[in-house]
Amino acid sequence: MAKRSIIHMLDPNVHNSPFDINMAVDAGYEVVVPYSNVKLEEVSALTQDSIFSRGPSGVKKTGLFIGGRDIGLAMDMLDSAKKAMVPPFEISVFADPSGAFTTAAALVACVERELKKNFSQDLKGMRAVVFGGTGPVGLATAVIAAQAGAITTIVDHFSIDTSLEYANEAKRRYGVDLQATTAASDADKARLISNADLVFCTAKAGIQVLNASVLADAKQLKVAGDVNAVPPLGIEGLGIMDFGEPLTHATGCEGTVGIGALAVGNVKYQLQNTLLTETLESEKPVYLDFRNAFDGARKLV
């Protein structure tokens, strides 16, 4: 009897993401099994339980997905799952906590595309500011941009200590140097973006991060991207479907182009589907994180 495809979805949170469950089904998995409140120390045993019952042919149709909200924990869970494999009993594992890896990868790839298209430059040496940089999407965005060569600053709305903590973690885990700061006022934001080449808005939904008066100080801004699809949008004057449209609402933004949340979301959706499909169809086990996501996003855009 032919083996059915199964994906086990591990999540340290109270609930698994319905979004991710939908995506797994749409990618072709026939059976989706969610696990909530999963602790790091439980990942190894759960992984081995999922591989030994299916035989070498069955493991090829078995996948593991890691969710949650903490990208560092997701990477640790991915590493634990990988170490638990016993060849030839190996399955593919894909970490995408809160969709942060695929969203961040899509955002940076879209910004990079417009930077090359409109300014004939790549990310290396660009001054990038990530608002909401201590959230999952923001930190993943910052790490991806920094690994691609951008001089990257993460911004926390409330606390410089929080920013510094996350910058130190990024250095320890991923070997990138992130600058860290806070910006609670429009004056702080204007100062930050006055010499920025790139702006990534990854703050909470429904929060306007940059208004027109702040953007007027962005004299060198080339590309701005936003992932907030809930009004008010993160960047005033940026359309939700814009993909390389000019930001003309502030005189300081002449020449700047923007990328809206649904434009990023369309790439993110395709990317997550592609990576889930890869875990299902790959002949050899794959272990996918934000680096694979960025490689995939670059191909899509």
* Residue 240, domain extent: 100-264
- For residue 21, the domain's CATH number is 3.40.50.10280
Q: Which of 104-113, 155-164, 241-250 has the lowest mean pLDDT?
A: 241-250
Residue 172 in domain: yes
User: Given a cut of 80, is residue 229 above it in pLDDT?
Assistant: yes
Per-residue pLDDT tens over the stretch 123-162 = 999 999 999 999 999 999 999 999 999 999 999 999 999 9
The answer on pLDDT for 32 being more than 70 is: yes
**CATH number reported for the structural domain that contains residue 112 in this entry:** 3.40.50.720
Examine the domain organization and report whether 126 and 173 are in the same domain.
Answer: yes
* Mean pLDDT computed over 174-188: 96
- Is residue 252's pLDDT more than 70? no
pLDDT tens digits, one per residue of 53-69: 888 888 999 999 999 99
pLDDT of residue 249: 57
Does 206 lie in the same domain as 117?
yes
Range of lowest pLDDT (97-101, 129-133, 212-216): 212-216
Residues 124 and 26 occupy one common structural domain = no
Shared-domain flag, residues 141 and 17 = no
Q: Looking at residue 247, what is its pLDDT?
A: 85
Split into its structural domains, the chain has a count of: 2
Domain end call among 95, 114, 132? 95
Distance CA 292, CA 217 (A): 36
Do 76 and 106 fall within a single domain?
Answer: no
Q: What would the mean pLDDT of 32-50 be, rounded to a whole number?
A: 97
Q: Is residue 182 part of a domain?
A: yes
52 near 60, Cβ under 8 Å?
Answer: no
